[in-house]
Every structure is written in structure tokens, then in C-alpha cells.
Amino acid sequence: MADKPSDLVQGTLDMLILKTLALQPMHGYGIAVRIEQMSQSVFRINAGSLFVALQRLQRAGLIKSEWKATENSRRAKYYLLTEQGRKRLNSETREWGRQVAAITRILEAS
């Protein structure tokens, strides 16, 4: 069970994408691989969810995109964080921390 990639907790994908893009601009596949690596293969990103999320974030003005060449000289669409996106990431990270701490407290209460 623990070996099998699991689905993301509802609503966290956006936050993870923002976090990934905070490190450096990246294309879709790069984002997916990066999240999987950082999660040590706990999460597996489905292409459908990924691109819907990217479209959503872009329309919300949290990220923007541009076409650039990859290191393998392939053309790809790179996404980068906007100032608004950075703010959103900070606030969501704080909120997430608060919630996780709360849930942990509940689960560990005896």
C-alpha cells in the first residue's frame, strides 16, 4: 500500500505546483517529475489534473507562461511564478502548516 503512488489530498496540487515553480521556472513535465521526486515517489501526477491545474493557476494570475527551448533543445512551455503567486504560496503554506499541526494533534490525542 505504501509503495503504490497515492492520489493527492484534494486541493493540494495547486500549492505543490506553486512551490515547485518558486524554485525555478519549469515546464509541465518538469513540474510533475519534480513533485514526484520531492515526495520520494509518494505522489504520482496525472497529466489531466496537472494541465487543468496549470490552466486554472494561470487564469487566476498566479503563474504565467512562455515558450522556451529546453536543455535538450526542444520547445516547451515554461511556467513561472508571478508576485501574486508568491504571496499566495506563502499564505497557503502557513495555512497548511496550521491545519497539519491541528490534525496531528487530534490524531495523537489519546
> How far, in Å, CA of 49 to CA of 106, rounded?
30
Residue number with CB closer to another protein (22 or 50):
50
| Sites of contact with another protein (CB under 8 A) | 27-30, 32-33, 44-49, 51-52, 55-56, 58-61, 70, 72, 74-77
> How far, in Å, CA of 40 to CA of 34, rounded?
10
Residue number with CB closer to another protein (79 or 89):
79
Rg (CA), the chain: 15
Task: Please state the closest distance from residue 5 (CB atom) to another protein, in A.
Answer: 9
DSSP symbol at 57: H
Residue number with CB closer to another protein (39 or 58):
58
